[in-house]
Amino acid sequence: MNTKATDISGPNALLREYDLVGQRKQDPHYYKIQTELATHSSKGKVKSVETYQELLRAEPGNRSAGEPDRFVCGRFYVQRGDGPEVTIPSLGGFSYEVNKELLDKNDFDEKGQLFAIPEDKFEGLTDHTGKKLPFEVGYQVYSAFFYYHSYVAYAEPTSEGKGVQSLKRIGDKVVHNGSFVESPLPGKLAKEGSIWKYGEITLEFKGLGVVDAQLCAILGFDSGVCTWSMPMNYMPVMNLKTTGVSNYHGDIYLDLDSYWVRKVEMVLSEITNTTMWGIPVDKSIPRTRLTIRAIGQDEFDQN
């Protein structure tokens, strides 16, 4: 028998069944999302460090009525190395809608947009000083948006197979139904034939915790060993291809009252090899740290 999620009184609280897929509250939620990308050379030397910070408002639709969720970017910050932190004015107020029921098995919509996020918005970006940002920064900014959806998704039930709905007691662990799936890589930088293959993804109900005075289920996720290959649309004279192996793992703190995510902490580690016309030109080790944190409306509005 499932116990009300917020009732943890009694000596057997850690042995009870919990419902991790309750009805989401319909009020807007606000998030600060920080992505730190540190790239190391094959010899371990730090080549670059970039930090991306996004403020995102989530406005839930009534999913039972087929309504999409709406997302609005409040502000977006970029800092590259020791350079100054800059904002991207064109992303202030940028919004998009996601209807999970209309996405395909790889989370693309009918226009081929990952999580229905229009990639065109991230082309030719300039900072608040008017300086044009490099194309690779635009791709990382775009990535910051779909990272939110990719990892929060582990706290939502799957339409079939194993998912968070399979976790009932602390210590339960499942192989997620997204395991071993092959998916095209998003973005116009990736040429046709680019592919990402997931490893054995595990999802575990690790315990209970408190974030901002709210009781949360702690869900651990691990991707296993992922592989990918990406021929790139960079310049016509450059036949570039990047291949690599990756692993990401982290924890999700799911609010057991609102059934919204309170916090995500994730680390993505990669080893990449880049060739030009089949000749090796670079080997690097990027490491991405992602933090998603729920914030109040006041903090969202002040930034």
- List pLDDT tens digits, range 99-122: 999 999 889 999 989 999 998 999
Q: How many domains does the chain have?
A: 1
CA distance 189 to 94: 22
Q: Whole domain around residue 56: which residue ranges?
A: 21-302
pLDDT at position 235 is: 56
Higher pLDDT, residue 299 or 43: 299
In a domain, 6, yes or no: no
Mean pLDDT value across residues 129-148: 91
Mean pLDDT value across residues 75-88: 95
pLDDT at position 187 is: 66
Higher pLDDT, residue 281 or 242: 242
In a domain, 32, yes or no: yes
pLDDT band at 6 (very low <50, low <70, confident <90, very high): low
In a domain, 4, yes or no: no
Q: Given CA atoms 137, 140, 142, 148 in this order, what sign does their dihedral have?
A: negative
Mean pLDDT value across residues 139-158: 93
In a domain, 16, yes or no: no
Mean pLDDT value across residues 50-68: 94
In a domain, 128, yes or no: yes
Our CA angle for 16, 18, 20, nearest 5°, is 160
Mean pLDDT value across residues 189-215: 90
Mean pLDDT value across residues 151-175: 94
In a domain, 15, yes or no: no
Strand partners, 252: 219, 264
Q: Which long-range contacts (CB under 8 A, 24 or more apart) does 126-134 make?
A: 126/88, 126/89, 126/90, 127/78, 127/86, 127/87, 127/88, 127/89, 128/86, 128/87, 128/88, 128/89, 129/86, 131/86, 133/78, 133/88
In a domain, 65, yes or no: yes
Contact 47, 161 (CB under 8 A): no
In a domain, 93, yes or no: yes
Residues 6+ apart with CB under 8 A from 9: none
